[in-house]
Structure 1
Amino acid sequence: MSARTRVTSVEAVHESGSYLFAVRDSYGDDGEVVVVPCEDGVAAFRNFCVHEPDQRLAREGVGAVVRDGEMICPRHGSTFDTCSGDCDSGKAEGMTLADVDVVVEDGQVYLVDEELTYLYEGPVQGDDDDDDMPSSTSHINL
């Protein structure tokens, strides 16, 4: 088992609705992970929509839009189950988010994914060019 890194608390994720942090993968590429409430615990996914990988699901200051146990893609309104990452509606229907291995111990969330290294809280630094972010075309008001 790889080393684990404390990320946040389950309580913080449930209170805020999501938690965003930056990671580096085994190829040296930086990316983001979003942690969302899942029943009594949490689940973690790479921060992009599988239908359109340039579309982030969570953004700094906004977080992820989570309603009734589903995370909503702000671009097309696809909805993903917060526990499994499965999409049951929208353009990503039938697809599943890329999950990230985390464990919960004593109310704390730890990153244990062997492919990822925790960098820091929030989005990838130097990647805050919102001009590259597609605007929402969904019918859902964010």
Structure 2
Amino acid sequence: MDDGTRIASVDDVPATGSYLFTAEDAFTNEREVILVRCEEDPGVEAWVNNCTHEDQRLDRGSGAAMRDGQIICPRHGSMFDACSGACDNGEAAGTTLPDVDVAVEDGNVHLVDDSYSYLHEGGIERDGGPSSSSHIGF
């Protein structure tokens, strides 16, 4: 593949859960991004690691909660389709997660979105821990 930065092996993306990495957007802001498995080609999708309802990380460092091909917001339980990013329930109903373009080739996931540059595996270093006040447990 001539274009795109290798992020991870497809095997690194769990069947349920997510693979977390950090990228820089066009305005030099660091953004957390998650890779999730999807039944549609290319088999892996990438989404900005934030619920569309509130500033809530979907993956807080140990993988996003998932059920039946949907990513679950740990704060209010809204569920986002892993393939389309669309939500049709809960507080985030009617919204779609911001996507990040990736390609899969030879068993590897590559960042091909011109709006982002790969920085590193894992999330953004934060002081004071996660901001969640969730009462939902998984």
* TM-score, normalised via structure 2 length: 0.91
Deviation at 1:24, TM superposition (A): 0.7
Match of 1:5 in 2: 5
Query: 2 CA distance for matches of 1:15 and 1:38?
Result: 9
Helix, strand or coil at the partner of 2:88: strand
The Cα offsets for residues 52-100 of structure 1, whole Å up to 9 and x where unpaired, read as 1x2000021x210111100000000000000000001110011000000
Distance 1:16 1:91 in 2: 23
Q: What is the CA distance between 1:15 and its match in structure 2?
A: 4.6
Aligned position for 1:55: 56
TM-score norm. by structure 1 comes to 0.88
SS of the equivalent of 1:113 reads coil
Aligned residue in 2 for 1:69: 69
Contact between 2:25 and 2:116, CA under 8 Å: does it hold in 1?
Answer: yes
Report the equivalent of 2:97: 97
CA RMSD, aligned part only?
Answer: 1.7
What percent identity do the matched residue pairs reach? 53
- Determine the C-alpha separation between the residues in 1 that align with 2:84 and 2:127: 28
Q: Which runs of 4+ in 1 moved over 4 A?
A: none
Q: Which runs of 5+ in 1 are unaligned?
A: none
Q: Which residues of structure 2 form unaligned runs of 5+?
A: none
The one-letter amino acid paired with 1:129 is G
* Structure 2 counterpart of 1:106: 106
Number of aligned positions between the proteins: 135
Aligned residue number for residue 129 of structure 1: 128
CA-CA distance at 1:39 after TM superposition: 1.0
Matches of 1:85 and 1:25 in 2, distance apart? 19
Within 2, Cα distance between the matches of 1:104 and 1:59?
Answer: 25
Offset, 1:7: 0.6
